[in-house]
A and B are shown apart, each in its own frame.
Chain A
Amino acid sequence: MLGPVRVRDGNPWHMSDAASGCRFGSGIERDEMGILLMDFEWTLFFQFMIIGLASGSLIALIALGYTLVYGIIELINFAHGEVFMMGAFFAATLVVVTGVTSDSSTGLIVSVLILTLLASMAFSGLLNAAIDKLAYSRLRKAPRLAPLIAAIGMSFILQNIAIYWKGPNPFTGPDLIPSEIRSYNVLQEWPLLRDWFADSTLRLRLIDLFVIGVTIPLLIILSWFVYRTRIGTAMRATAQDREAAALMGIDINRTIGVAFLLGGGLAGAAGMVALFYNNSGRFQMGFTYGLFAFTAAVLGGIGNLAGAVVGGFLIGLIWSYSDGFMGTFVSGWGSQWTNSVIFSILILVLVFRPSGLLGQEVADKV
């Protein structure tokens, strides 16, 4: 290690706000062009990797919802980010309703966490399916842009409902996970790791593990569902050729509904986890996460489940490194380049390789 790393106090993990995010300490020299005069810092590199993987797994969960729906009905479900946001809002309200706080016993807290996770998934899944029934399902035969515009409208409606629900300002997450557990640094506390990372300031917190620990099982369950069950097979068949699948006796409308339900459920899980991970929420959180997740789905190859996961982790890492490093290297200018970086990736992929990293080139149906 090349020297001590200063990580700011407070909540340096709040990804959606680069200003409070991980930065270098203040005593950094720059040359007259504002270029950083500093050796590369491996601790920070790994620190941002941890943050990137955690937020990447959230993005992967959301991206799967985009990909599931797009794979079947070729609709960019613009409201999907808002479904995720509603999952977070529902979780915040539910925890308050149960009355359990960080003072309660560990068993109670854990069971409330599990309950909230399942309830948010159910809520977001049903919400997504209901939106499909209400709006998109009536536009199945309409030209492609009609459901997209309806989805944009839905996303605005949901944002307004969120404003009614919790107000326009950011709110702090519910007081459920005790802060010493949130910031419990696994690398300094667990037996073997403690010796390996003795002179490192790298932090891998329990909350990071929580995010990954929720995501990975969900990904496994989803792939089991899609590749091993009857309805999953029906989904894949419908994605491949809707008419042929219908001729084989598959109930297309039900299959589409299941895709919305599954996608919404994953978004709800991501929303609940994001709420506890960031320890805050806002009605606009769905916009950023949603578009980043859409970028991830496109990057991986839209319609491709593995692609969405790979894309999610990639975008998470890019997000984290961009938040962490861009502001430092381009000084004198503002530091919040992350949106520009990610949207540039979106544009470049769509323009030059619309099939994404893992997708196959498919000729357009005329």
Chain B
Amino acid sequence: MASSYATRAEKWFADRKQEERKRLLWVLLGAACLAVYPFLDSALGLNQMGQWIPIFVFVILALGLNIVVGYAGLLDLGYVAFFVIGAYGNAFITSPNSWFVQRGWIPEYLQSFWPAMALSWVLAAIFGVILGAPTLRLRGDYLAIVTLGFGEIVPDFYTNASGITNGPQGIGQIAKPPSIPLPGGREIGFSTIDQDNWFWLVLVVGLVSIFMITRLYDSRMGRSWQAIREDEIAAASMGINTVSAKLWAFALGASFSGFAGSIYAGYVRVVYPDQFQFSVSIIILAMVILGGIGNIYGVIVGAIIIGSFDRILATELTRPLNWMGEQLTWEPLSWLGEWLATHNLNSDRFLIFGLALVLIMLLRPGGLFPSSRRAAELSGDDDDDVDDKEDLYDVREENARLAGGNA
């Protein structure tokens, strides 16, 4: 009988491993499907490449925010701060117009895309710790407001510190990734017209991020985050160092944002503070919450839904909507027809994000694809966990069996 626990544990781990393999397969399959998209895009004349690349950047941002909000349960309303830091980090290092480059403070070999991206990544992580440290003592809602404050101050700083950042005009001529030479004299370039290459680059970066984040989730650190999210006091009394775990959550969450910011800067080649408003933080939050807080696959889907509405569907659906409005001449509804005929869906963006947040909170707090380990921060009582078949040991069944065996 003593071996029973061990065999069960082994089986549990084996099941999980199999499930993970299955998931990996699905992710690769999805990525493969996406990878052929550029061919479809040019074959069908969709001309949406320029929109998909920023959407993928937002997917990475949402994955990063999911570390802070979903895993560690720290509501961060100022996530855009790290996006700015990453984007400007790249600009400061690589742009010939940058204040630092002009003073010769940046060595020549750093002034290209990849080193700049690595540095921005580290820079954002450092700022994650700096901005996260003062908030550690705070309760959930105060923490949210403090992070919101940072999210306002950082872009404000870049607007006003015009001596260094060139103020509202921003910094241009940011380096693009160097082209990769291929045998036969051809090369993979990354200038603005090479949208297909950019698409694949961002896709690869996204896959790497997904890989890293899944590994993080199952790591010791990831499990501490979840423990803190469920019950901070219990976690602390089980020996988890809550301070360092939270700081790591801020640092790693921020680092993905910095990394996404840096890629974004390399893609658009110019950064200016107005790109980074408070609404960006909320859009990313809406992606995380819509998809399923804490569940990275849900978050990816949520980010693609909201991102594609924001960048593609709102524009593309406006014309059919206007057409429908023109057809609607039936007298009692003619006012509606007139309204639809001139309505631009792009002016509904805030409404959609707001509705996503409110409706998800009211109807389905776990999101469209809830995390299997529920986020207690958002879903109320959790006393029925004993029924959870994912538990390592089913205590009651085991007890009943043991009691029966003894009798």
Contacts and interface: CB of A to CB of B under 8 A. Distances in A.
A76 B149 CA distance: 14
B365 A336 contact: no
Contacts, number: 152
Interface in B135-171: 135, 137-142, 144-146, 148-150, 152-153, 156-157, 159-163, 167-168
A141 B378 CA distance: 11
Contact of B351 (A160, A334, A366): A160
B348 interface: yes
B144 A154 contact: no
A143 B380 CA distance: 6
A145 interface: yes
B213 interface: no
A145 B288 CA distance: 14
A157 B354 contact: yes
Nearest to B152: A343
A153 B139 contact: no
Contacts of B351: 156-157, 160-161
Contact of B357 (A144, A153, A164, A339): A153
B377 interface: yes
B188 interface: no
A144 B141 CA distance: 7
A350 B358 contact: no
Nearest to B380: A142
A143 to B, nearest CB: 5
Contact of A168 (B139, B282, B347, B378): B347
Given A149-B361, A152-B282, A343-B152, A351 B347 contact: no
Contacts of B282: 152, 156
Contacts of B376: 143
Given A154-B354, A336-B159, A148 B141 contact: yes
A145 B380 CA distance: 11
Contacts of B145: 76, 294, 298, 346, 350
A150 B278 CA distance: 16
A158 B355 CA distance: 10
Given A142-B378, A334-B159, A157 B358 contact: yes
Contact of B77 (A74, A147, A152): A152
Chain B interface, >50% SS class:
helix
A128 interface: no
A85 to B, nearest CB: 13
B377 A145 contact: yes
Interface in A6-42: none
Give the interface size class of chain B: 35 or more
Given A334-B159, A340-B160, A160 B350 contact: yes
A112 B25 CA distance: 69
B162 A334 contact: yes
A11 B394 CA distance: 72
Interface in A139-183: 139, 141-150, 152-161, 163-164, 168
A71 to B, nearest CB: 14
Interface string A42-84: 0000000000000000000000000000000011100000000
A153 B361 contact: yes
B268 interface: no
Contacts of B233: 366
A153 B138 contact: no
A337 interface: yes
Contacts of B77: 152
A138 interface: yes
A150 B358 contact: yes
Nearest to B339: A164
Given A149-B289, A152-B282, A157-B354, A347 B380 contact: no
B156 A339 contact: yes
Considering residues B142, B149, B162, B168, which has the most beta carbons from chain A within 10 angstroms of its beta carbon? B149
5 contacts: A145-B144, A148-B140, A287-B278, A337-B160, A343-B152
Interface of B: 75, 77, 134-135, 137-142, 144-146, 148-150, 152-153, 156-157, 159-163, 167-168, 233, 278-279, 282, 285-286, 289, 347-351, 353-359, 361-362, 365, 376-380
Interface of A: 74-76, 135, 138-139, 141-150, 152-161, 163-164, 168, 287, 291, 294, 298, 332-337, 339-340, 343-344, 346-347, 350-351, 354, 364, 366
Sorted nearest first, the 7 A-B pairs with minimum C-beta distance are: A153-B357, A156-B354, A334-B160, A157-B354, A160-B351, A153-B358, A343-B149
Given A143-B140, A291-B148, A366-B233, 14 more contacts: A142-B361, A143-B379, A145-B140, A149-B357, A152-B282, A153-B286, A153-B361, A156-B354, A157-B350, A157-B354, A291-B152, A339-B152, A340-B157, A344-B149
